[in-house]
Amino acid sequence: MESGIFHSTYEKDMALRHTPIEKIRLALVIALVLVFPFFADNYLLNLANTIGVVVVGAVGLNILTGFTGQISLGQGAFMAVGAYTAALLSINWGAPMWLTIPAGAISTAIIGAIFGIPSLRLKGLYLAIATLAAQEIILWVITHWDAVTGGVDALNAKNILWFGGESHYFSEFQFYWIIMGFAALTTMVTVNLFRTRIGRAFIAIRDQDIAAEVMGIDLFKYKVLAFATSSFFVGLAGALIAHWRQIVTWERFTIETSIFYLAVIIIGGLGSVSGSIYGAIFMVLLPAILNNIGRSLKGVIPAMDVLIPFIQQAVFGLVIILFLILEPEGIAKMWKNVRDYFRLWPFSY
């Protein structure tokens, strides 16, 4: 029986996990991730891979929006930069994957930093509108710069293992390990980022930018850095999509994508790395589950086939609205409440 968590040393205070239960839970999650692909069929693997990519992108967006407080509606276009960079490098120069994926991430970080410069003058909804413009402009450039990007036509990315090699076929099972590896890496880097000076500066900017500046945080430097770090992971997600799906089209990276990722981090929990993961799982599984329910109801309601996409879209909107009204801090907070209730039971107040 506990009444709270108390620390007696600085080492304990700095630890990421405080109780034995937390360590056991983490071990169980890791075990599940490792065992899962051996029992899952292709459909489930595909869903898991989607979740993995969304985790990378959502953690990236959360660094910017959740932790630094800069709203971005340009996520989709930044992802496109990563995806197109990776795809074009593999197609034009036959660059291997271990080079194209980091290249996609780094190029997106640079573009993100450039579009982060206005954030010095713009705050809140003005910044949101500026990133909306960035989204439209970047996507327009991609669809109209025919000589480089092939315009509106889709690109076929190649999964090359070594220079001069041919495109290699990866199964969903093999990609599971690549994507989960990157997702785990992203999570670990981000969790630890917020235990460093840089991460704390981001949080200080979010909480009160003027106070942060008074305390000696160079706002320009850290805001641009936040855009670059966030875009790095967003671009990473884009590059992973390029190699995993192999077909890169601009339609994957519209404003809808930006909105989807914002929804993921809001439903999961703004400013929470684990929240990004919960949000990703929830938002990827929700339409899939609705789809399956809809299909099974086809016998009862014949028009279900046509209605499914609309039901998915309506539920998407409804879930955002309900979460914002009922639990603005998202699934992360709900999960914490449940945990605290049981851990502190019967003195849970």
Partner 1 sequence: MDKFLQLTLTGLTSGAVYALVAVGFVLIYKSSDVINFAQGEFLLIGAYLAYFFMGQLGLHWSIGIIITIIVAAGLGVIIERLVLRPLIGEPIISVIMVTIGLSSLLKAMVGGIWGTNPQVFPAFIPKTEVHIFNAVVTADKLWAIGIALAFLLIFTLFFRYNKEGIAMRAVADDQQAALSMGISVQRIFALAWSIAAMTAAVAGVIVANVLEVSPNLSGVGLHVFPVVILGGLDSIPGALIGAAIIGLLEAYAGGYVGDGSLAQVISYVVLIIILMIRPYGLFGQEIIERV
297 touches partner 1 by CB under 8 A:
no
CB of 162 to partner 1, least distance (A): 40
- Asked if 301 interacts with partner 1 (CB under 8 A), we say no
Choice between 34 and 133, CB closer to partner 1: 133
Q: Which is nearer to partner 1, 59 or 71 (CB)?
A: 71
Among 44, 99, 102, 136, binds partner 1 (CB under 8 A): 136
Residues 57-96 close enough to bind partner 1 by CB under 8 A: 65, 71
Q: Does 14 bind partner 1 (CB under 8 A)?
A: no
Selected range binding partner 1 among 35-43, 190-198, 233-241, 306-314, rule: CB under 8 A: 306-314
d(CA 252, CA 248): 8
Strands 155-156 and 247-248: antiparallel
Going 308 to 52 to 254 to 96, the CA torsion angle's sign is negative
DSSP-based three-state secondary structure for 271 = coil
Closer CB to partner 1, 167 or 312, in the complex: 312
**Cα–Cα distance measured from residue 261 to residue 72, given in angstroms and rounded to the nearest whole number:** 10
The Cα 312–Cα 296 span in angstroms is: 15
Which of 5/307 has CB closer to partner 1?
A: 307
5, 27, 34, 129: which one binds partner 1 (CB under 8 A): 129
Within 99-128, the residues that bind partner 1 by CB under 8 A are 118, 120-126, 128
Residue closer to partner 1 by CB (options 58, 266) is 266
47 belongs to the binding site for partner 1 (CB under 8 A): no
Cα–Cα distance list, 107 to 79, 83, 191, 290 (Å): 11, 10, 23, 37
CB of 234 to partner 1, least distance (A): 17
User: Which range touches partner 1 (CB under 8 A), out of 49-57, 162-170, 309-317, 332-340?
Assistant: 309-317
Site for partner 1 in 194-223 (CB under 8 A): 209-210, 213, 219
Q: Where are the alpha helices (DSSP H) in the chain?
A: 10-14, 20-39, 42-62, 75-92, 97-116, 124-144, 146-149, 172-193, 197-207, 209-214, 219-245, 255-268, 273-296, 304-326, 330-343
The residue among 40 and 311 lying less far from partner 1, judged by its C-beta, is 311
Among 14-22, 38-46, 303-311, 334-342, which window interacts with partner 1 (CB under 8 A)?
A: 303-311
Residue 102: closest CA among 236, 229, 227, 238 = 236
Sign of the Cα torsion 209, 265, 198, 218 reads negative
Q: Of 256-285, which residues contact partner 1 (CB under 8 A)?
A: 259, 262-263, 266, 270
CB-wise, 178 or 266, nearer to partner 1? 266
Distances (CA, A) of 43 to 29, 39, 55, 297: 21, 12, 18, 20
Considering only 29-37, 190-198, 243-251, 324-332, which stretch makes contact with partner 1 by CB under 8 A? 324-332
Helix (H) or strand (E) holding 155: strand 155-156
- Closest separation in Å from C-beta 274 to partner 1: 19
Q: For residue 289, what are its two tokens? A: 């589950």
Give CA–CA dist 41/330, Å, rounded: 30
- State the greatest distance between any 2 C-alpha atoms of the chain, in Å, as a whole number: 67
Note the residues at the interface with partner 1 (CB under 8 A): 65, 71, 118, 120-126, 128-130, 132-134, 136-137, 140, 144, 209-210, 213, 219, 255, 259, 262-263, 266, 270, 306-307, 309-314, 316-321, 324-325, 328
